[in-house]
Amino acid sequence: MKLSRSTLSVALLAALVAPAAHAEVAIDVIGGSEVSFEGLVQADANWFNSDVANLNGDAIDGQDSDNELRRAEIVLKGKGPDNIEWVLGYDAKADKYLDANIKYKMGGDSNHFVQVGQFKQPNSLEELSSTKNNDFISKAMVTNTFAVARRLGGAYSYGTNDWSLTASYFSRELTRNLAHGNGFGVRGTWAPINESGNVLHLGLSYVDMDTDADTLRLRTRPQADLASVRLVDSGNLTNADRQMTIGAEAFYATGPFKVQGEYMQSTVERYNNGNPLQSQDMDGNSWYVSGLWNITGETWGYKSGVPTTGLPSEPASGMWQVGLRYDSIDLDDGSLLSPTTPTGAPRVDGVLGGEMDAWTAGVNWYWRSNFKFMLNYVKVTSTKYSSSARNFVDDDPSIVEARVQFYW
């Protein structure tokens, strides 16, 4: 579903005049379960200043821009009976299920539980954080490329408010024809400082998973969710047996300031098919560091090993944030060989998926507890080997991004 600029303007006007709503709208108590209803609607607009590749996804919204309804999520939640909690979520825009699981809290402890169904796997600080409170419009490259999101499976978690250890086994996504591949994941977190308005979080994760049909492709957009082109792309990695990813994460929040970062190293294990150029293991990595400042003075909380965003201290004026993030990804794990092929082009030994770096500067405005407006500027630098050019090609676009969000 596409939105024109006029449609986005109407949505923005409606958001400005609509009355504030309450999160988790209570419905009823059914079978001993307190049932509530949540929703999230996000509309995005991207304006591209392309360099080499044309980033525009379609011509309907203009030659250098794209507008789209990004998410339209509806979620039912239940508490009870006893220590059971359940959730069923669906994204009407993407036509896929979100969280759909049952959790049993041991002894009523929210830090000690068993979970069965579809849920976010225990990896990536940014992936596990709530989408409605992401610091920037596009998630970091490391999250978009290497993190494992929602999958069907089971998990066990134990810990306290200061530490946690979670292990899971997972298979495919609940929605057909999406992500496949069995695997397992573990994540450990520790908060040596955990006070009101003063939190230091450290975490490690590991995911080991089978590939779908022994093929894997690693690629990412240039920090613009509506861009039609991936500037770094490994291509289809055949003979791929497993993918193993180790991650490190940290954030420190003190008063109105937060610094956050993640690093992931991923190895694609490939088996020998008799062709040494198609059988070499591939290593890729990505990381980011970001900083946020709540200009209006609010601070962050901490729950279940992720930061939480508080409500505006003054609902009428809202909460204002400014942020800066630096991202980097490297999908090059190979080199050019001589002598050249019969066509005159050099041979590629390994994988030359490209390298990309990006700066993202953003401003966020949380108006009351239900509305959020975001504006980002992204500057990208990238280089990737081009078989047609028989050389490495630089592509350095910039993008302006905007988002309107309504949540209840």
Longest dimension (CA), the chain: 73
Query: How far apart, in Å, do the first and last CA atoms of the chain sit?
Result: 22
Of 8-12, 133-137, 259-263, where does mean pLDDT reach its minimum? Answer: 8-12
Question: Whose CA is closest to 332, among 381, 383, 290?
Answer: 383
139 against 27, higher pLDDT? 139
- Average confidence score pLDDT of the chain: 90
Which pLDDT does position 17 carry in this prediction? 40
**77: helix, strand or coil:** strand
DSSP state letters, 134-152: -SSSSPPHHHHHH---EEE
Report the pLDDT averaged over residues 221-226: 95
Partners of residue 71 on adjacent β-strands: 42
Mind listing the pLDDT tens digit for each residue in 378-405? 999 999 998 888 889 999 999 999 999 9
Please report which confidence band the pLDDT of residue 274 belongs to, taking 50, 70 and 90 as the band edges. Answer: low
pLDDT at 355 over 70: yes
* Angle at the Cα of 316 from the Cα atoms of 314 and 321, rounded to 5 degrees: 60
Say whether pLDDT at 341 is over 90.
no
Confidence (pLDDT) at 394: 96
Rounded to whole angstroms, the Cα distance separating 315 from 298 reads 12
Domain that holds residue 331: 5-407
Residue 23 pLDDT = 59
The DSSP bridge pattern shows strands 391-394 and 219-220 to be: unpaired
- Residue 8: per-residue pLDDT: 41
Task: State the alpha helices, DSSP H only, in 24-124.
Answer: none
Q: Does pLDDT of 18 surpass 70?
A: no
Residues 6+ apart with CB under 8 A from 72: 40, 41, 91, 92, 93
Question: What CA dihedral angle connects 39, 178, 185 and 261, to 10 degrees?
Answer: -60
pLDDT at 272: 80
DSSP state of 19: P
The model's pLDDT over 50-69, given as tens digits with 9 standing for 90+, comes to 999 999 866 666 678 999 99
Report angle CA 215, 219, 221 to the nearest 5 degrees.
Answer: 150
Cis omega (within 30 of 0) for bond into 312: no
Whole-number Å distance between alpha carbons of 120 and 185: 11
Considering 165-169, 179-183, 214-218, the range whose residues carry the highest mean pLDDT is: 165-169
Between 258 and 239, the more confident residue is: 258
- Cα–Cα nearest to 112, from 43, 40, 161: 161
pLDDT tens digit string along 183-192?
999 999 999 9
Question: E strands within 174-318?
Answer: 183-195, 198-210, 219-220, 232-233, 240-254, 257-270, 282-294, 300-303, 306-309
Mean pLDDT of 322-349: 84
Domain count, the chain: 1
Cβ count near 312 (within 10 Å): 19
pLDDT of residue 21: 42
Structure tokens at 312: 């505006």
Report the CATH number that the domain containing residue 11 is assigned in CATH: 2.40.160.10
State pLDDT tens for residues 56-112.
866 666 678 999 999 999 999 999 999 999 999 999 999 999 999 999 999 888 889
How far is Cα 139 from Cα 286, in angstroms, rounded to an integer?
A: 13
Asked whether residue 133 carries a pLDDT value surpassing 50, the answer given is yes
Residue 304 has pLDDT above 80, yes or no: yes
The CA–CA distances, whole Å, from 376 to 85, 108, 139, 297, 365 equal: 36, 41, 12, 21, 12
Whether cis (ω within 30° of 0) applies to the bond prior to 256 is no
Q: Is the pLDDT of residue 302 over 50?
A: yes
Three-state SS at 125: helix
Region 114-119: mean pLDDT is 98
- Identify any residues that bridge with 15 across adjacent strands, giving them in sequence order: none
DSSP state of 212: B
